[in-house]
Structure 1
Amino acid sequence: MDELVPVQKQKDGSVVVSGRDLHDFLDVKTKYADWFKRMSEYGFDENVDFAVFLKNEKDDTAFGGSRKITDHALTLDMAKEISMIQRTERGKQARRYFLEVEKRYKQQLPQTPEEKLALTMQVANRLNNRMAKVEDDIDFIKNKSEIDSTQRYKLKAARNRKAVEICGGSNSNFYNTKGAPRKVFRELEHDLKEVFVISRYEDLKKEDFDRAVSFINNWHASYPLEQEISQINAQVNLEI
């Protein structure tokens, strides 16, 4: 498998991806800092989904020939979701690549004595935690069930509010143009269902409910749709 984006295995066995490396591969035109800030608004948390670190970058104009820049170590799950959000061919390629990376690392067995010992300790800790937290396990199982009718109502209400907001409000030209608001609703629904891998709202798991609401609240329309909304809302009503 060709290495589209470099990945690095951590001491705990997890695999991370450099945010800047992913940004470069996706060929994003927006500056990295601005792009990552927007991506992190899709419900990702620092020290859970990503970690901040500094690294040296070659710069002949800087003292010593290099300068410090901010980068982010992303989990594979975050890298996959960000790739999918781009809605580009490179985004699709990156997501497929990360799925293959994930599959490859899951199939790997520990090789060194240190890795075998670490794996043994991890298994022992997991077993101890399960035995000590029966109630937590029950709650976890419950959270795997689908959202209830109240949560479905709240999810659709959040979707409706966000769609109207993206249109420019209920009094905007775009919102009151026949068929136009549906474009926003369709794109928002498509992105939500694709990120959470569901075909309908009823399939969303309870444990994903809060993240889904956060995703909706921080959602942005694609650039072409944003341009269309801006152009229509900028039009002056000339009717007398």
Structure 2
Amino acid sequence: MNELIKTFKKNDGTVAVDGRDLHDFLGVETPYTQWFDRMIAYGFTESVDFTGLSQKSEKPQGGRPTVDHAMTLDMAKEVSMIQRTPKGKQAREYFIAMEKQAKRQAQQVVLPMTPEEKLLLVMENANRANKRLTGVEERMDDFEQNRRLETGDYTTISRGVSRAVNFYVRDRHLQLTKEQRSALYKDINGGLNQVCGVRARIQIKAKDFDKAMKYIDDWRPSTATKMLIQQMSLALEA
């Protein structure tokens, strides 16, 4: 089989996948280190699903190390599936083909199995694969539900907050001090955090993005905040 993605044998004889080479093959735009950390968040465990490799040895002069992590074939398959891209599908099929080839080679040196043993082995492998796939899907759903906002979405919310406050001020032809504007920002941010169930805007989850934007579009300062601004104005006039 032609090598599509770099693999190598570990000391225990198992096949490992070069994490950086898989990242390059998948065409992921996110830098490798950030991407790999994101993949770990799906529930993979160091020393079980992957091993960190030293970057001090075999590092090309003036270049990057050729390998950062050694991933098991199972992890490499799941990571490829998570990408949900044609490249990810191609990589996953490649790793499956590698496994099949390795099993065929192993069977050549194993005594023939009875039909009953073969059937039992097939059922065990199928059950194991189904449990693994179910676990991956559950981790993917949980990750999608709880992941934080992307930088672009967070910027959109921040700009929306500023736009809502400025519109309110212009629409009513208000001349506000820095403290009065601060009261308006405190009002909209406090309500935004309450609606999204967080303590700070930076903690808003991606699943609540639409909810956050709707709140910003509908926002009007509370009666308490409007009265506070009026009191500040009276204090300045006194």
TM-score after normalising by structure 2: 0.49
Higher alpha-carbon Rg: 2
Of structures 1 and 2, the one with the larger relative CO (CA 8 A, separation 6+) is 1
User: Which has the larger share of strand?
Assistant: 1
TM-score after normalising by structure 1: 0.49
User: Which has the larger share of helix?
Assistant: 2
